[in-house]
Amino acid sequence: MDHNHRLCLTRADARRVLSQLHGQQQSLDRVIQRLGTIQYDPLAPVGTNPDLVLQSRVPEYRQGDWQSAAYERRLLVDGWDKQASLIGTQDWWAQAPFHEWFAARWRRRGIDVESREAGELVEQVARQGPSTSLELGDQRSDPALRGHWYGPRRSRHLLKALWDTGRLMTHHRVKGRHAHDLPQRVLPQPSSHQPGDTDDALERLIIRRVQAVGLLRPTADAAVWLLPCTRRERDRIARRAIDKGRLIEVDIEGQAFWASPALIASLDGAGTAPDPRLRFIAPLDPLMWDRKAVFRLFGFDYVWEVYKPAAQRRWGYYVLPVLWGERFVARFDADCRHGVLQLHAWHWEADIRPASLPCGLAEALETTARHFLAYLGAQRVILPRGLGQAARRAWQRATRYPESTR
């Protein structure tokens, strides 16, 4: 890539445009369209990751609203992106490279989605309609599969392979469990999007990954860039997208990024005054995917410690970053049960003095806390030490004067 043809931005430019991009308050439909992909994770101490991603962008969002968008209105479907994700239904055609990639991976494990056994499972779904793994296939355990991630039942492995390869899709969820159905009974008909070739599909996957973040480093970790192709192929396809103007090369103080045209177009309209709002950010929010870039651009060192042993955690189990305007000012660990939100820990960043908060921060926190309580349907909050008097009062006022319910 020729450095001379890259758009050059400062870190301050990047912070401003990223915070404004991810801070836009829009309808649920618009946010789904803008992001294109939302990582799914079943852990839900304060809502699932899709809930948390959407509550910071959608006014009056309530926990679980994404499910009606996915399973009733079909704006989203369950699929695979960098991990299990909810993707825009219009992009289903672009999943084909993932489906082929998974088919080969499962064959190497001894599971063939073209086998008679697989065909019988698909036929069972066709007869029964939407069904979970508890209702499909042979429920007996296979001793050879004990201790495996997908459990000891071979039928469950086969169902996962059929889902990974697009032979079956998620019609809805039953307590988090996929209810499988045939694609033609899940996808809206007729579709106006016709499948392209493999390069077209890979280009859409790459663009979607950048689109979700806004600015993404080509050198981001492998987990951020998991794709059904090699890095060399990815770079070739990305170059094609750049040549077409579908991606833009950006240099941010010596570091290469790829940007979405929408983000670059917003540069001229981005105000110079910092956004006064405060937002609680999901651990797996697209803004947080490339944590090294977050540290480079914002100076915020975020580690998700949910899978660490408790004794090794510095910040907590399920920690949400707190973004105020263009600054990360805190992080907190919390869960919500039976209408009570408990903050187990609140950690201010080193440049924030709890006894003397910057002007406007307490007011911004109160507004966001009020929204967060309404999103969760919580009536009470249990606060930890370390908040400081002003922040403690902000949370208490948010509880005393709740946001109106829908």
Q: Are residues 146 and 252 in the same domain?
A: yes
Q: Are residues 355 and 265 in the same domain?
A: no
Q: How many other CB atoms are found less than 10 A from the CB of residue 237?
A: 23
Q: Are residues 87 and 210 in the same domain?
A: yes
pLDDT band at 81 (very low <50, low <70, confident <90, very high): very high
Q: Is residue 241 part of a domain?
A: yes
Burial 332-354 (b: 16+ CB within 10 A, else e): bbbebeeeebbbebbbbbeebeb
* pLDDT value, residue 137: 78
Q: pTM of the full predicted structure?
A: 0.93
CB neighbour list of residue 2: distance below 8 Å, 6 or more residues apart: none
Query: What is the mean predicted confidence (pLDDT) over 52-58?
Result: 98
Tens digit of pLDDT for each residue in 270-317?
555 667 899 999 999 999 999 999 999 999 999 999 999 999 999 999
Q: Are residues 143 and 257 in the same domain?
A: yes
CB neighbour list of residue 377: distance below 8 Å, 6 or more residues apart: 62, 63, 339
* pLDDT value, residue 189: 73
Query: What is the mean predicted confidence (pLDDT) over 179-188?
Result: 96
* pLDDT value, residue 152: 52
Q: Are residues 262 and 307 in the same domain?
A: no
Q: Are residues 109 and 224 in the same domain?
A: yes
Q: Are residues 31 and 143 in the same domain?
A: yes
* pLDDT value, residue 405: 57
- In percent, the amount of the chain with pLDDT more than 90 equals 84
* pLDDT value, residue 3: 45
Query: Which CA distances in Å does 262 have to 3, 20, 30, 51, 243?
Result: 21, 12, 14, 24, 16
* pLDDT value, residue 162: 97
Domain's final residue, options 270, 293, 325: 270
Q: Which two tokens stand for residue 271?
A: 């105000």
Tens digit of pLDDT for each residue in 385-398?
989 999 999 999 99
Least confident of 131-145, 266-280, 370-384: 131-145
Q: Is residue 61 part of a domain?
A: no
pLDDT band at 337 (very low <50, low <70, confident <90, very high): very high
Q: What is the span of the domain harbouring residue 352?
A: 303-400
**Element counts in the chain: helices (H) and strands (E):** 14, 14
Q: Is residue 242 part of a domain?
A: yes
Q: Is residue 58 part of a domain?
A: no
Query: What is the mean predicted confidence (pLDDT) over 223-237?
Result: 97
Mean pLDDT of the residues in the chain: 92
Q: Are residues 153 and 265 in the same domain?
A: yes
Q: Are residues 251 and 307 in the same domain?
A: no
Q: Are residues 241 and 342 in the same domain?
A: no
Between 135 and 369, the more confident residue is 369
* Number of domains, the chain: 2
* pLDDT value, residue 2: 44
